[in-house]
Chain A
Amino acid sequence: MANQNTAVAAKKKSSLDKLGGQKFIVILVIIALFLFFSVMSANFRKYTTIVSILDYSYYIVLMSIGVTFPLITGGVDLSIGTGLICYSLVGGYLISFHNFPVWGGMLVTVLFGVAIGLVNGTLVAVMDIPPFLVTLCTCMITRGLGAIIVGGFGITWPTATQPGGWFRNIFKISIDARTKIPIGIVWVLILVAVMSFVLNHTKIGRYTIGIGSNKEAARLSGVNVKFYHIMAYVISGLFAGLAAIAYSAVFATVQPGTGAGFELEAIGGAIIGGVSASGGAGSVTGSLLGVFVICLLKTGLPFIGLQANWQQIITGLVLIGAVLIDVIKKRREVH
């Protein structure tokens, strides 16, 4: 018996290591990347560059927070990237061409995301279609839908100086032309905290983990599995909608037909941050950290003078590395 207890204790330690360990590694990677790029490029360590990195990361972080939920159920949501563009196009279109107030357009943007999430969730949870397939289809649908609704043209949300441009200040406050406060990071961190709480300390989160851990067991516990399974996708859609607002606020024109590939950065970030590719495990803070690795690479590699093709190769290698860590971890668990 004594032996058994020590075995349990030893395993317990490794599980702690499992949860906190990857985050710790990711933080080290972030610090290492930041130091490396700072040493290699004087321009990289400027305040304005850091503000830029944050600017360009908000929408990916938000997508990543949301997609963490379907990922933990063992599914995936591929529709968030093209969905983001679609929601942003529609919201911006209503503001520009139908005299919607900006807050109205923002509301429609978010609600559209929620609606697509609801469709995804229903098809996955009720109709029992594989998530990969469902969201691949909605990925294609949103890509076309956005373009059709706005008539095939790029849509610009109000610029900072136009009436309604206030919403751009949600993410960045301008003191003067060269001094900006990246206030968006505060909102993002608050949302991360809120969703961390939701994942770890509410029924929605608990059952999300339950579904990814052992769906049948969750069902046999009398949980309305379908409802909570749908909720995971609704959360993903909601955050794709919020990401659409962040995207519209930071960038100028939203072009129809784009957005494919955004989801991979969000999902890649989540996986780097420790979300298990087969579900059950993961954390919102981990996803946040993982996304920062990707954003640092995206910004840092051009700054050290690497050309386009090399940037893609290195980003791909880092992602493979992250997935490998997951696979190796899993293999250890099996034994």
Chain B
Amino acid sequence: MGEVILTMKGIDKSFPGVHALDHVDLEVRRGEVHALMGENGAGKSTLMKVLTGIYTKDEGTITFEGKEVEFHNTREAQDAGIVIVHQELNMLGHLTVAQNIFFGREFKKGIGIDDRKMNEEAAKLFERLNIDIDPTTTMSDLTVGKQQMCEIAKAISHEAKVIIFDEPSAALTEAEIEELFKIIRDLRAQNLGIIYISHRMDEIKVITDRVTVMRDGAYVGTLITEDCTKNDIINMMVGRVIYEDPKTHSMVPEGAPVVLKVENLNAGKMVQNVSFELHKGEILGFSGLMGAGRTETARAIFGADPKQSGDIYMNGEKVTINTPQDAVNHGIGYLSEDRKRFGIVVQKSVAENTTLATLKEYLSGIFINKRKEEKVAQEFVDSLATKTPGVDQLVVNLSGGNQQKVVIAKWLCRNSDVLIFDEPTRGIDVGAKNEIYKLMNKLAAEGKAIIMISSEMTEILRMSDRIVVMCEGKITGELDIAEATQENIMNLATREIS
């Protein structure tokens, strides 16, 4: 670790009705990876937006390379050497990799753009980062992991001195995360300051040097990563103790009836001959790497995508599911991994979203019974501990974790027999995660059958009664929780690749 390159001191920022940042401090040194942690809504993103000039601070000072600075837009921050690699990839899918990297500051040749030079420069960048990407590839043709690499290359090309990674690993496979870490270590060795935002505790321990924790918009403290345990950090974040113990044995009662049976389901390349059974009161974990076909399987079962063949039985009876509507009518609920696109209507209120799938029950004649709707919504807000000023709040104003809770409420409200949770805790902070876990256990105990698709091994091992592992569109194995370990799951998940 070198000298201090960036200091944020006493940063204060209020929005109408919300005190988003309450005198927050942050210090970053050259050649360190500095984790910024906190639950959703703790103010991490706001702090970074203040730093990069998207928001203007109300109070406080930012000192960068010994001088007090104030950026008015991302461009100024970039020019000074502070760049951000966003959680949601900011790529322009129709343009090439090189065109993306140099977007906004193209090399000129006469009146035109010098694409050749941009390709050469991009190739140099990739060489420096030791990444194998062809700069002339169209962006949308790359995998998510490779796209992330391009984002990093873009950040570095700005002569960056401080790079902010905002949940960079959220969409990456294990192998891609390894590659990412290698790059981050390289950058650290080149004496850059790196701010690393993530929810994944394991990563924090592996990659970061120091950790700054925020809670409810306020600064809690800064620790040296090596000197603290996971639980220390979590305790600082949530102010209470959380245990992440794996389940040791199945909680499903002996002889529980089969609720959902899928036989030889085929839907494109990603779903090949998928067969499994789901019992009453069971949490069936679907594990596998990104692109293993888990989400595709769920979508095919739910009728969201067409299937070529295969039979689905509900409670022993064969059913036809061609549309999500059919699925809902047969008592299947699906909580999409991509909430913004499929799960919620962001411009509607919490109450309206909660009752979206069950609106019929809230009608008085042709009118919606607002009071009943709000009462039910309030119950779910309470039981799920959704952080919202009220049930009339627009969902767009909630944090990701709280949006997820609204989606869960929607399907709970519907009283579905089978619930498919697709990455239920993606982008959700530790405290809220725990609540969602408790909730899923409670639902299983009440006799709901749950399919949980998850890329987090700890989540799979903690929650599942039984685990189905997929790889490249096929089920490669099925494990009872008693016999499942991280190792044998990974073995099945990579069976055909290696």
Among A197, A218, A222, A333, point to the contact of B92 (Cβ < 8 A): A218
**Interface flag for A54 (CB, 8 Å):** no
Contact B94 A209 (CB under 8 A): yes
Which chain B residues lie closer than 8 Å to A3 at the CB level?
497
Which chain B residues lie closer than 8 Å to A222 at the CB level?
73-75, 78, 104-105
Which of B121-129, B136-144, B415-423 forms contacts with chain A?
B136-144
> Which residues of B, 134-155, contact A by the 8 Å Cβ criterion?
137-138, 140-143, 146
Which of A1, A15, A203, A281 has the most chain B CB atoms inside 10 A of its CB?
A203
Measured CB to CB, the closest approach of chain A to B369, in angstroms, equals 33
Contact B103 A12 (CB under 8 A): no
The interface bits of chain B over 292-310 (1 if a CB of A lies within 8 angstroms of the residue's CB, else 0) are: 0000000000000100000
Which chain A residues lie closer than 8 Å to B78 at the CB level?
222
Contact A203 B106 (CB under 8 A): yes
Contact B74 A209 (CB under 8 A): no
Contact A217 B92 (CB under 8 A): yes
Contact B104 A221 (CB under 8 A): yes
Measured CB to CB, the closest approach of chain B to A171, in angstroms, equals 27
Contact A202 B137 (CB under 8 A): no
**Interface flag for B257 (CB, 8 Å):** no
Please report the C-alpha to C-alpha distance between residue A121 and residue B305 in the assembled complex, in whole angstroms.
38
**Interface flag for B113 (CB, 8 Å):** yes
**Known contacts A3-B497, A222-B75; is A210 also within 8 Å of B90 by CB?**
no
Which chain B residues lie closer than 8 Å to A333 at the CB level?
140
**Interface flag for A335 (CB, 8 Å):** yes
Which chain B residues lie closer than 8 Å to A113 at the CB level?
none
Please report the C-alpha to C-alpha distance between residue A261 and residue B105 in the assembled complex, in whole angstroms.
40
**Interface flag for B115 (CB, 8 Å):** yes
Residue of B nearest to A10 (CB): B141
**Interface flag for A280 (CB, 8 Å):** yes
Contact A12 B95 (CB under 8 A): no
Which chain B residues lie closer than 8 Å to A1 at the CB level?
175
The interface bits of chain B over 87-112 (1 if a CB of A lies within 8 angstroms of the residue's CB, else 0) are: 00011111100010001111000011
Measured CB to CB, the closest approach of chain A to B7, in angstroms, equals 24
Which chain A residues lie closer than 8 Å to B73 at the CB level?
222
Please report the C-alpha to C-alpha distance between residue A10 and residue B185 in the assembled complex, in whole angstroms.
32
Measured CB to CB, the closest approach of chain A to B198, in angstroms, equals 21
Please report the C-alpha to C-alpha distance between residue A202 and residue B110 in the assembled complex, in whole angstroms.
10
**Interface flag for B387 (CB, 8 Å):** no
Please report the C-alpha to C-alpha distance between residue A78 and residue B393 in the assembled complex, in whole angstroms.
37
Closest CB pairs A-B (n = 5): A222-B75, A217-B90, A221-B104, A213-B92, A201-B112
**Interface flag for B343 (CB, 8 Å):** no
Contact B141 A214 (CB under 8 A): no
Please report the C-alpha to C-alpha distance between residue A4 and residue B179 in the assembled complex, in whole angstroms.
15
Which chain A residues lie closer than 8 Å to B138 at the CB level?
12, 15
Measured CB to CB, the closest approach of chain B to A218, in angstroms, equals 7
> Which residues of A, 1-52, contact B by the 8 Å Cβ criterion?
1, 3-4, 7-8, 11-12, 15
Please report the C-alpha to C-alpha distance between residue A177 and residue B332 in the assembled complex, in whole angstroms.
76
Measured CB to CB, the closest approach of chain A to B482, in angstroms, equals 33
**Known contacts A197-B112, A202-B113; is A213 also within 8 Å of B104 by CB?**
no
The interface bits of chain A over 280-298 (1 if a CB of B lies within 8 angstroms of the residue's CB, else 0) are: 1100000000000000000
Contact B95 A209 (CB under 8 A): yes
**Interface flag for A212 (CB, 8 Å):** yes
Please report the C-alpha to C-alpha distance between residue A220 and residue B90 in the assembled complex, in whole angstroms.
8
**Interface flag for A329 (CB, 8 Å):** no
**Known contacts A8-B137, A222-B75; is A213 also within 8 Å of B95 by CB?**
yes
Query: Knowing that A202-B111, A221-B74, A222-B105 are A-B contacts, what are 9 other residue pairs whose CB atoms are under 8 Å apart, sorted by A's residue number?
Result: A12-B141, A15-B141, A201-B113, A209-B94, A214-B93, A216-B90, A222-B78, A280-B92, A281-B94
Contact B137 A12 (CB under 8 A): yes
Which chain A residues lie closer than 8 Å to B305 at the CB level?
335
Contact B106 A220 (CB under 8 A): no
Residue of B nearest to A282 (CB): B94
Measured CB to CB, the closest approach of chain B to A288, in angstroms, equals 20
